[in-house]
Amino acid sequence: EAQVTQNPRYLITVTGKKLTVTCSQNMNHEYMSWYRQDPGLGLRQIYYSMNVEVTDKGDVPEGYKVSRKEKRNFPLILESPSPNQTSLYFCASSTRQGADEQYFGPGTRLTVT
Amino acid sequence: KNEVEQSPQNLTAQEGEFITINCSYSVGISALHWLQQHPGGGIVSLFMLSSGKKKHGRLIATINIQEKHSSLHITASHPRDSAVYICAVRPNTGTASKLTFGTGTRLQVTL
């Protein structure tokens, strides 16, 4: 089954404790992206990757890091989480950036206290 | 002003009603997406349009590129259609073109 998986689905953590949210897709997609969703603001892009070892900043990259060492995986790293990073996070993939059907992961609800 | 505006923000309908959700955008685009976000949070892609009209079951999406406007129609609405519907566009300018999202239309269909 074609899918994008994210882990963990829910996470409560404390300020400053490094964390990683994993994202993996099984469709051999080149393009992957991370979004955060906040009430009233809609989905905003954090980082995206057009292929292995090719990543770039989206609209709200501050406080986040990503890597793309393998085509299927695109982890999101929060080196020192802060409460303003409390949000719902989605990973997505597609064959081409924005031009093809987007496949979204199930979401990760992160709370930073 | 957001690049993508959706209306209405909230919509309540009775089962069986015909529903229209609108999306207006202010930039030139190469594609427009309609997404559905279920109450549990998951997002699925409904349509991707670059021109004309697409239909899938009871859902119809149209786009008018000249007027920078798209509509999502739901015929014979059902309570299981209750969800947030999100419009997203891919601007055709800049080297880092990416999806820009509207804030969504929350639809509730009652019996």
What 3-state class would DSSP assign to A66?
strand
* Cβ neighbours of B98 in A, within 8 Å: 33, 45, 48, 58, 97-98
- Which pLDDT score is estimated for A100? 80
What 3-state class would DSSP assign to B9?
coil
Å from B74 to nearest chain A CA? 20
Length of chain A: 113
**Contact in structure between A89 and A63 (CB atoms under 8 Å):** no
**A48 close to B (CB below 8 A):** yes
pLDDT in tens, chain A (113 residues): 889 999 999 999 999 999 999 999 999 999 999 999 998 888 999 999 999 999 999 989 999 999 999 999 999 999 999 999 999 999 999 987 666 888 999 999 999 99
Distance, CA of B12 to CA of B3 (rounded, Å) = 25
Residue type, A51: N
Residue type, A105: G
Distance, CA of A108 to CA of A37 (rounded, Å) = 10
How many CB atoms are closer than 10 A to CB B40?
Answer: 8
**A8 close to B (CB below 8 A):** no
* Cβ neighbours of A109 in B, within 8 Å: 41
For chain B, give the mean pLDDT. Answer: 92
Q: Which two tokens stand for residue A86?
A: 């409390």
- Which pLDDT score is estimated for B17? 97
> β-strands A103-104, B4-7: how paired?
unpaired
* Cβ neighbours of B96 in A, within 8 Å: 56
Predicted confidence (pLDDT) per residue in B43-56, tens digit? 999 999 999 999 99
- Which pLDDT score is estimated for B97? 53
User: Which of the four pLDDT bands, split at 50, 70 and 90, describes residue B68?
Assistant: very high
- Which pLDDT score is estimated for B41? 82
Predicted confidence (pLDDT) per residue in A92-105, tens digit? 999 876 668 889 99
3-state helix, strand, coil in chain B (%, to 5): 5, 60, 40
- Which pLDDT score is estimated for B56? 95
